[in-house]
Each structure stands twice: as C-alpha cells, then as structure tokens.
C-alpha cells in the first residue's frame, strides 16, 4: 500500500509492503472472492468482492538534554485503522478468439493455443472506513535530589465514518490456454471519471492450473498479482476525506468450475 489517507483534514502518508504488513500490522484480514456465469462461453456476468481490515502504524522516539540533570524523552506514534470493501459487478463479452482449434487431437486439447479477448463493462462499489490515531508520550526527568517530575500522555483520533460511492468502469480481458488444464489471463480496467472517484483502475494477471475434479466440479489453483488504485475526495477543510491509495500484491487462491 502506498499513497496517502486524509481524515477530517488530517493527512497520513502510507507506504508499506507485504512483508511489513505481515510483520507490523496489529490486524491483517484480506479476502477476495470472484464469481462468473458464462453463456455459450461468449457472454458473462461477474461479481468480484475484495475486503481488507488493516491496522498499522509507525513511531519515533527522541531524547533531549535540556541542561545538566534535566532530560526530556518524547515518543510519537501515528497509526491507521483501514477497513475497505470493494464489490465489482458487470458483464463480459467475448469479442474474438484467435488460434487453431486442436480439439481433434483429443478432449484435453480443446482450446489449447487459443487466445480470447473480452470487453468488460460494469461498476465498482467502494466502502471505506478509516481511523487515524496520534499518540504523544512525553517524560521529563529531573535528576535533582528530593525532586521527581513526570509528564502525561495525549491521544487524538480522527474518524472518517462510513464512506461509500460507485465508480463506473470499462476494461478488457485476455485469456490464453497455454496447455491442457493451464490458463493465463490478463485483465485491466479504468473507471471513476469524476462520477464517483476522480479516477480508479486495476490490473490483474493470473495463472490457473487444474488440480483435480470432484464429480462435475473442476478444481484449479490460482497464482497471480493484483493492482488496485483509487483517487477519491469528499468535503473540504476540517471535513475533508481523501483517499489516494495504490494497493498491490500477490494472490493465492482456489477456483471451482461447474
């Protein structure tokens, strides 16, 4: 995740990677689910759900020697609790499929070597909730006989509340059957256009490989990488909410086709 999050006019920069999230996050719950129904392998309707609940932050400590016997220790921390639900929905239409038909070589060879091009059209619903917390701890140590002094703690929280909007989007998808039971796909879209967010886009590359079947259900493993960006703004001044965030990372999953 990289970019910035603004809540009630207060902006916190965000810059972290997968390994830092796994190591430093107080909570980390990501989930993705995808469903698509196709008719004659040309027309499809899909729903794509992404959810994340992440709490992470960073801190810094400084020590100051004011004068002999008087020391000041200051520790500041900023943390963000970020909850996001994104639901993509729409349709896909196969414009063209290129490549030789090798189905005569055997049932497993059907579609091998062929590449299909789909056009995507739909909407992307965003739900966002972000809390920014600032902690300040200060301790003043006075090393004077018979005299002790200690500071106190201060915490400030900015809450965005529940923010939701819908972005229309248009995109494309390319699917290639590399070998029997193995598929490569690339998908990209762009949306927002000032109707919801100022702009949003995503890209997804995936490799699927069959791992077995249960009755009429074919199971496949999925390896891929996903990128999702949004630039959204609402309000102004002390009520300003702005999300300028790029999310990207690897994905690992299981798919079923029936």
Q: Tell me the domain boundaries of the chain.
A: 2-57+82-130+160-257
What's the rounded mean pLDDT across residues 207-229? 95
The rounded distance, in Å, linking the Cα atoms of 208 and 176 is 10
Architecture of domain 2-57+82-130+160-257: Beta Barrel (2.40)
- Judge whether residue 69 has pLDDT over 80: no
What residues contact residue 214 under an 8 Å CB cut-off, 6+ apart? none
What residues contact residue 209 under an 8 Å CB cut-off, 6+ apart? 181, 182, 183, 220, 221
What's the rounded mean pLDDT across residues 57-69? 75
Please check whether residue 79 is in contact with residue 133, taking contact to mean a CB–CB distance below 8 angstroms.
yes
**Residue 114 CB neighbours (<10 A):** 16
**pLDDT tens figures, 100-128:** 888 888 878 888 999 999 999 999 999 99
Q: What is the pLDDT of residue 110?
A: 85
**pLDDT tens figures, 80-105:** 788 899 999 999 999 999 998 888 88
């Amino acid at each position: 995740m990289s970019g910035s999050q603004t809540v009630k006019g207060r902006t916190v920069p965000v810059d972290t990677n997968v390994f830092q999230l796994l190591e430093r996050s107080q909570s980390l719950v990501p989930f993705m689910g995808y469903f698509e129904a196709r008719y004659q392998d040309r027309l499809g309707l899909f729903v794509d759900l992404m959810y994340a609940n992440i709490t992470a932050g960073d801190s810094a400590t400084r020590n100051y020697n004011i004068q002999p016997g008087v020391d000041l220790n200051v520790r500041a921390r900023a943390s963000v609790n970020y909850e996001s639900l994104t639901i993509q929905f729409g349709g896909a239409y196969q414009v063209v499929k290129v490549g030789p038909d090798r189905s005569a070589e055997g049932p497993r060879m059907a579609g091998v070597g062929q590449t299909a091009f789909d056009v995507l059209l739909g909407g992307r619903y965003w739900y966002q909730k972000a809390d920014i917390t600032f902690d300040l701890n200060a301790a003043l140590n006075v090393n004077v006989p018979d005299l002790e002094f200690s500071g106190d703690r201060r915490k400030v929280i900015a809450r965005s509340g529940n923010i939701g909007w819908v972005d229309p989007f248009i995109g494309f998808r390319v699917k290639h059957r590399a070998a029997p039971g193995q598929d490569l796909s690339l998908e990209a879209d762009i949306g927002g256009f000032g109707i919801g967010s100022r702009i949003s886009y995503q890209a997804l590359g995936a490799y699927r490989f069959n791992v077995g079947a249960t009755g009429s259900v074919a199971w496949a493993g999925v390896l891929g990488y996903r990128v999702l960006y949004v630039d959204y703004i609402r309000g102004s001044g002390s009520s300003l909410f702005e999300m300028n965030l790029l999310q990207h990372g690897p994905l690992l999953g299981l798919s079923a086709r029936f």
